[in-house]
Amino acid sequence: MNFDEMWGGDDRIRRPYQKFHDWFDTEEPARLRAKQREAEELFRLTGITFNVYGRAEAEERLIPFDIVPRIISDREWNRLTKGIEQRVRAINAFLHDVYHRQEIIKAGRIPKDMISRNAAFEPKMIGVTPPGGVYTHIVGVDLVRTGPDDFYVLEDNVRTPSGVSYMLENRETMLQMFPELFARNKVKGVQGYPTDLRRSLADCAPSGAAGSPVVAVLTPGIYNSAYYEHAFLADQMGVELVEGHDLRVMGGRVAMRTTQGYKPIDVLYRRVDDEFLDPLNFNPDSQLGVPGIMDVYRAGGITIANAPGTGIADDKAIYSYMPEIVEFYTGERPILQNVQTWRCSDPDSLAYVLDNLADLVVKEVHGSGGYGMLIGPTATKRDLAAFRRKLQARPGHYIAQPTLSLSTVPIFSKQGLTPRHVDLRPFVLVSPNRITVTPGGLTRVALQKGSLVVNSSQGGGTKDTWVLED
Amino acid sequence: MLGKTANGLFWMYRYLERAENTARLIETGQRIALTRLDAGDSEWRPVLQSAGSLDQFGLRHDELHKDAAIDWLLRDRTNPSSVLSSIEAARQNARLVRTALTHEVWEATNSAYMQARDILARKVGERDLPSVLGTLRQRTSLVRGMTHGTMLRNEIYNFARMGTFLERADNTARILDVKYYVLLPSAKAVGTSLDNVQWETILRSVSARGGFRMEYGAAAGPREIASFLILDRRMPRSLAFCVRKIREQLAHLAPGHRKPGKAQGKVAHLEHAYLTYDIDAVFDYGLHEFVQKMLDLLSDLSAQIEADFRFYE
């Protein structure tokens, strides 16, 4: 039996949900259904859509929104925040170490091959220290919960995490539709995020930047699945949204083409993957990047957020070493738990995984977005057989984890409140001076009964996430 | 502002204006077809010409039928100037420049697109045509209203307005190009009834019937119509009005830019050399030649704006 965040284990409403539940009991289901439709209309009008890869007909789709909030108490949140800060500090120290002295390898805590032969290791970053020493300016940690006090980190997402626009728009929508709920519950605000983001990015500008640093958001363009979010963030921060062809390298700087000529940029919040960032240094076929930007970066002429090469820290094989990484760099025990992980590159682990395939979740080491994964307990015999062959052919490409009994939060459905599995992605900003975790985040919910897959690309929905003041 | 953003704004508003103009041309064509029993389908040829897509239509259709012409102008995605294509292109550009638009303008644009996509999903029957066209024009007008009501008067606005007026001037010039012969001075003092219908068509296709009547009364003829559409500075779709607006927008942009661009010189020349005389001078020059010249100069001006403000690399 899994843990439900509203009903607890014993069908008594848990405290954070009490006021919401009282309110819900007095509401007409018909009115709420109308509100649910109204919410969808609002999203459609605002244009909060995402593009699904590989589906031509549905070029822009809406992520379903559920009106029941996911509510977290102040106490729970404080503990999460401490755990997240600890982890993010460790990750930044790890990245610096990996690209400099590699003490962690010398200390024998991580095998050398795990780093040097890892596709996510970026040799062009060796010896490079980013401005302010920050590698992961923006992090979206994926957490799951299995009990009142049991939170696990599922993924660290330190490349270019997305979803923060949903955190903000979901709240905006709830405020518009149910103002009375916010009068009854003291919900911590998330609306400061764009301002915090801009300040945090500006604080990471190269030391040579004069006056107020020029920040810009780099997007792959309007056909990217997260384009809405790129435009949204640029708009909310009041900075330019640029594409590769708006930029060029001039006089040791990266500059954008304006109606009045080229203007240098200090901080580039890029939503373009490493591989496409610079056709001269990485993938030569990339049309999305800026030729030569890596050379400017290495010379300290621009801040790239997040830094190239951070992927080595959220690689799923490295993930399994996170407890060691946290201890090694912070000298503390990890506050947040890691999910037990079998690296299939190891023969003993592979044997175990093959024997227990029907009970495990198997993921690609470099995959994301719920693509190319196997969920043993719900897979058909054919799926299992197919995955077994894949594992045997390329074991190093996969890791396996136990199937966690994810917590549930009710959604509002035709049958009233019905529990569905959720995860949580809080958003973290890192600057040389501070780490900020916005109180809230993105709660993704699997809309199908019993399903554990919350990814929007696989039919998941979202909820507003509340952190209550005490 | 990014050159790309200026480009996106310019085209977003060109396409919005185009959607509206094409809708108006359909309305006019339909109106003539209804009021002239002898017209058959022939009146749709000049309508397609004015919309600048007769040749492309010919590539896809052997004959010119009313239904096919309306469908082509209204919702054919292979016609880049159809109302649906234009609204889609406007919205695509709006997405591109989302950060430059107010929330209100973006939502109005997005909802115009969503509604157009819905009501133009299937062929529109004759009975529904007036209300569909009405809805479409209301939707695009809402974008314009939100633009006026919520956008800062800064360079974003300047590029939006230049797109609007270049497209509008181009549209008025193309209508004149197709129908110029109707306006040529004739030996007869009073036009035939056929002429009357033709004149009315021209005025309708630039929404100028009311304004013209107010200004000149019922008795006026082709000379006044030509003057109204070309030189009148109060008529919001006349060439003189549109060109003056473009000149003003360029002047607003000038202080932020180091040297006056070539576009400023070109628009000043265009206005001074062609739009400051009276209508007799235009007829002396040759109405058709004049309109052709205008089309060339407008297209040259558009290209110059693109170059001056670094729309492209």
Structure tokens that stand for B4 in this block: 């790309």
Q: Which of residues 84-143 of B touch A (CB under 8 A)?
A: 92, 95-96, 98-99, 106-107, 110-111, 114
Contact B110 A234 (CB under 8 A): no
Direct distance between the N- and C-terminal alpha carbons of chain B, in angstroms, rounded to an integer: 15
Query: Please, are residues A312 and A120 in contact by the beta-carbon 8 Å criterion?
Result: yes
Give contacts of B257 with chain A, Cβ < 8 Å: 259-260
Mean pLDDT of B215-244: 91
Query: Please, are residues A94 and A104 in contact by the beta-carbon 8 Å criterion?
Result: yes
Buried b (16+ CB within 10 A) or exposed e, A18-31: ebbbeebeeeeeee
The pLDDT value given to residue A54: 45
| DSSP annotation of A9 | T
Q: Residue length, chain B?
A: 313
The pLDDT value given to residue A329: 98
Query: Please, are residues A431 and A132 in contact by the beta-carbon 8 Å criterion?
Result: yes
Where chain A has pLDDT below 50, the residues are 54-58
Mean pLDDT of B258-282: 89
The pLDDT value given to residue B149: 97
Across the interface, which of B95, B96, B256 has its CB nearest the CB of A260?
Answer: B256
> DSSP string of A192-249?
THHHHHHHHHHHTS-TT--SSPPEEEE---TTSTTHHHHHHHHHHHT-EEE-GGGEEE
The pLDDT value given to residue A58: 46
Query: Please, are residues A17 and A436 in contact by the beta-carbon 8 Å criterion?
Result: no
Mean pLDDT of B215-242: 90
Query: Please, are residues B149 and B104 in contact by the beta-carbon 8 Å criterion?
Result: yes
Between A75 and B28, the more confident residue is A75
CA-based nearest residue to B211, from B229, B223, B192: B229
Contact A259 B114 (CB under 8 A): no
The pLDDT value given to residue A441: 96
3-state SS, residue A260? coil
Mean pLDDT of B210-239: 89
The pLDDT value given to residue B3: 94
Cis status, amide bond into A306, omega within 30 of 0: yes
d(CA A428, CA B289): 65
- Supply the CATH classification number for the domain A340-403: 3.30.1490.270
pLDDT band (50, 70, 90) for residue B257: low
Pairing outcome for strands A427-430 and A337-338: unpaired
Phi, psi of B222 (to 5 degrees): -60, -35
pLDDT in tens, A37-52: 998 888 888 877 666 5
The pLDDT value given to residue B186: 67
**What HEC string does B53-78 produce?**
CHHHHHHHCCCCCHHHHHHHHHHCCC
Sketch the domain layout of chain A as residue ranges.
69-167+186-336+421-467, 340-403
> Range with the lowest mean pLDDT among B1-15, B103-117, B189-203?
B189-203
Contact A240 B95 (CB under 8 A): no
The pLDDT value given to residue A412: 95
How wide is the angle at C-alpha A372 spanned by C-alphas A366 and A378, nearest 5°? 130
Instruction: Decide if A45 touches B, using CB distance below 8 A.
Output: yes
ipTM of the complex model = 0.80
The pLDDT value given to residue B256: 66
CA-based nearest residue to B204, from B60, B43, B64, B65: B43
Contact A46 B258 (CB under 8 A): no
Q: How far is A255 from chain B (nearest CA, A)?
A: 11
Mean pLDDT of B107-136: 94
In B, minimum Cα distance to A41 occurs at B111
- Is B35 a residue whose pLDDT tops 50? yes
Give Cβ neighbours of residue A19 (< 8 Å, ≥ 6 apart). A184, A185
Across the interface, which of A47, A232, A258 has its CB nearest the CB of B3?
Answer: A258
Contact B2 A240 (CB under 8 A): yes
